[in-house]
Amino acid sequence: MNLRFGGIVHGDEERWPGHASSVLYLAGCPFRCPWCNTPSLVQTEGFAEQSVEYFLNELSKSEAVVLTGGEPLMQGNAVLGLLQRLDAPVRIETNGYYSETLNDCLPLAKEVQLDLKARLDARTYAEATAFRGDPELLLSNVLRSLTFLEKNGSRVRKVFSFTVVPGVNDSPETARELAKYVSLYCDEFVLRSFDPSDCLDASFKERPAPASDKMTELLKEVQGRVRKAVVL
Ligand code: SF4
């Protein structure tokens, strides 16, 4: 089994706080979020592929491993094959689209970060992520991922990340709804400020990042609903 990847960065101290991690950037994503800050990893073509054995060797001295992308769970069987043989603790960063794969990976991960994108309404979610398939399928997959995290993720630390993008998802109602939805099983809710410096959709580079007052306002909507809420 091979994995399509953009690169590996060793010794990262920021991506998974408290862990000096090797970060594996896997290529390909079913979403096209216009604000995506890893635009080069969204497509599936033009990437190197290597076997699971290659990555096991590359990661054999790693203290911790972060799987990110792109959407790492797009390469389900190969990712699962890697996780089953990795010794180091693993954090998975996912958009929640591949719910069954996420469920299969839960017993093998120490931390999962699921990126929430918009209100949990099929059309709104599909529009925000510029998803080209069936919006109902998209939402039902994300909701199934949330259910799997709640029901089967008791041994996993569950982080929900939400990038606040002006004009897309920056209403207080959206932050409140998302925090409420995951409140019972969320270990940490991370509000991220949209970064216009490098976006998939070039027109988003013209948008200003949210003001700090806006982030504080949204943080207040989330605080009290989840165990821990932070702005990054
Ligand atoms: S930000 Fe959106 S398009 Fe970019 S990798 Fe994440 S889910 Fe995919």
Residue nearest to atom 5 of ligand 1 (CA): 70
Q: Which domains does the chain have, with CATH numbers?
A: 2-231 (3.20.20.70)
Write out the DSSP string of 9-24.
EEEESSSSTT--EEEE
* CB-defined site of ligand 1, < 6 Å: 29, 31-33, 36, 38, 42, 69-71, 95
Of all atoms in ligand 1, which is nearest to the CA of residue 97? 7
The residue whose CB lies within 8 Å of the most ligand 1 atoms, and thus the one to mutate among 26, 38, 73, 168, is 38
Contact 198, 37 (CB under 8 A): yes
Of all atoms in ligand 1, which is nearest to the CA of residue 129? 2
What does the alpha-carbon distance between residue 159 and residue 229 come to, in Å, rounded to a whole number?
10
Q: What angle do CA 141, 30, 39 make, to 5 degrees?
A: 135
Mean pLDDT by runs of 10 across the 232 residues of the chain is 97 96 98 97 96 98 97 98 97 98 98 98 98 98 98 96 97 98 98 96 95 98 97 96
| Separation of CA 153 and ligand 1 centre (Å) | 23
Strands 64-68 and 188-193: unpaired
What pLDDT is stored for residue 105 in this prediction? 98
- 28's tokens: 């390909």
Of all atoms in ligand 1, which is nearest to the CA of residue 32? 3
Residue 85: its H or E element: helix 76-85
The residue type of 115 is D
Give the DSSP letter of residue 65. Answer: E
The residue whose CB lies within 8 Å of the most ligand 1 atoms, and thus the one to mutate among 32, 36, 41, 132, is 36
Give the DSSP letter of residue 104. Answer: H
What pLDDT is stored for residue 62 in this prediction? 98
Indicate if the alpha-carbon torsion angle 145, 47, 5, 9 is positive or negative: negative
**Which pTM value belongs to this model?**
0.98
Strand partners, 160: 114, 189
Q: How many residues does this entry show for the chain?
A: 232
Strand partners, 67: 24, 92
Around Cβ 225, how many Cβ atoms within 10 Å? 19
| Separation of CA 70 and ligand 1 centre (Å) | 6
Of all atoms in ligand 1, which is nearest to the CA of residue 39? 4
| Separation of CA 96 and ligand 1 centre (Å) | 11
